[in-house]
Structure 1
Amino acid sequence: MSDPGAKPLTLPVMPVKRGTLQDEIYRRVCDLILDGEIAPGQLVTIQGLADAFGVSAMPVREALQRLTTAKALTVISGRSIGIPKLSLDLLTDLRRVRLEVETLAAVWALACLTSDDIARLDHLVILMDGAIADGDVKRYLHGNREFHFKIYSASGSEVLLGLIETLWLRISPFFNLLHEAGNYGVANAAHKQILQALRVGDPKALERGIRSDIGNAAEVLERMLK
């Protein structure tokens, strides 16, 4: 879905502190991907990231190599990086694995989420409703990511959380494409179902909500790919 003729994405200045520079840059780029800041068809250059982070090109190149190895990014042309194409086979595989690991993480989190956590999730649902009404894709995607990872982080499993992040690095850029199809409203209805299940401690309803959210998005993307 990346367009070789697309213009490189202009990024805001985001200086990186010295220290574990490559790890920090890697984390920053991961956040850009997970928050939907790099959408399919957009290009990012090594120099553009270096300028945005206030560093030389070398640590950026090393961080991007890690992400291209993980297939979260791909070289489009020259020094331009973009989101790899999504195939039907990959979409099916990602959906199948996400259904298993994300429902598991949510159920594990059920007994660990605090009242403050629930209040934050409720706020995020309201925030996403507002973003949908305003047509603000970036605000919705940021809220969507925080909503899900707030839950999954409470599972207490660093290994499981790492697996989920790896899956999201490959699928979350395509959440940008779901806005025009009206999926955001459907997804936030699933978020409300998830939130209610967490409030009452119902693991079965929680699983249904997570599966509905993942499945509905995958069905929309599948139709786009056919």
Structure 2
Amino acid sequence: MSSSTSLPTHEIIYRNARDLILFGDLAPGEAVTINSIVERLDAGVTPAREAIRRLTAEGALYASDNRRLVVPPLTMPQLQELTFARTGIEPQIARLAAVGIEPAAIDTLEQIDAQVNAALAARDIHGYLLHNHRFHWTLYAHSEAEILMATAAAHWLRVGPSLRVMVGLAETPTLPDMHAAAIAALRDGDYEAVGEAIHNDILQGHATIANGLEDEG
């Protein structure tokens, strides 16, 4: 989980609570209370309350009909909005990141992608969500596009937990590896192909989520 001794306690607790959502420790539809955050993160009541307030403001938590705060399950219209937003922003971040990226950084991405694939093979939800997020954000960090990345981060809080469906999908290992395509394009210095790979990666993940939503309906 995200933590640093240089950060104030309330920021550490917020980041760790956010990671519980991003990396599958809290599933869509699961209730979240101040006490649950206190217990899971060994946090004080005040920083736990502040973390929940911030996550609610960001749309990562919402009040259900019975007023319980839950990790919001995606609806199909929301997924469509997120598809539009993510495919408009993240491929451009990836293109910017591809400019001047060093071979050692590409090697790191390749190592992370191996961890993504290993988590998929092991049906490890937490590992898949963690390493998939690491792959994208390790790449995006090279863009230095702070405003675009902040917007993309908000989108990930909404869609990230629902990507857990990828782990339970029997045919996932046979899907085209868009991370590998992005890595190959990075090595070739083909910025447009890097953006296209990330675009297709987003579409692939969202299509899988959409299939799950249709099955639930």
TM over 0.5: yes
Identical aligned pairs, as a percentage?
A: 29
Partner of 2:115: 127
After superposition, the C-alpha distances for 1:114-161 in whole angstroms (9 at most, x for unaligned) are: 222111111112112222222222212111010000011110121111
Where in structure 1 are there 5+ consecutive unaligned residues? 1-11
Alignment of 1:1-226 (within 5 A): 20-76=8-64, 81-182=69-170, 184-185=172-173, 189-226=177-214
CA distance in 1, matches of 2:13, 2:54: 11
After superposition, the C-alpha distances for 1:3-41 in whole angstroms (9 at most, x for unaligned) are: xxxxxxxxx9x9996962222211111222222222113
Tell me, what secondary structure is at the counterpart of 1:44? coil
Aligned AA for 2:156? W
* RMSD, aligned α-carbons: 2.6
Query: Would the alpha carbon gap of residues 18 and 201 (structure 1) be closer, same or farther in structure 2, given more than 3 Å must change?
Result: closer
- 1:75 Cα deviation from its structure 2 partner: 3.4
- 1:182 Cα deviation from its structure 2 partner: 4.0
Deviating more after overlay: 137-146 vs 175-184 = 175-184
After superposition, the C-alpha distances for 1:181-217 in whole angstroms (9 at most, x for unaligned) are: 3464366711100111111111221122111111111
Where in structure 2 are there 5+ consecutive unaligned residues? none
Deviating more after overlay: 110-119 vs 208-217 = 110-119
Question: Is residue 50–residue 56 contact of structure 1 (8 Å, CA) maintained in 2?
Answer: yes
TM norm structure 2: 0.88
- Count of residues paired in the alignment: 214
CA distance in 1, matches of 2:100, 2:130: 23
- 1:53 Cα deviation from its structure 2 partner: 2.9
TM norm structure 1: 0.84
Query: Would the alpha carbon gap of residues 197 and 183 (structure 1) be closer, same or farther in structure 2, given more than 3 Å must change?
Result: farther
Question: Is residue 197–residue 206 contact of structure 1 (8 Å, CA) maintained in 2?
Answer: yes
CA distance in 1, matches of 2:51, 2:16: 10
Tell me, what secondary structure is at the counterpart of 2:69? strand
Q: Which contiguous aligned blocks of 4+ residues in structure 1 show a shift greater than 3 angstroms?
A: 14-19, 75-81
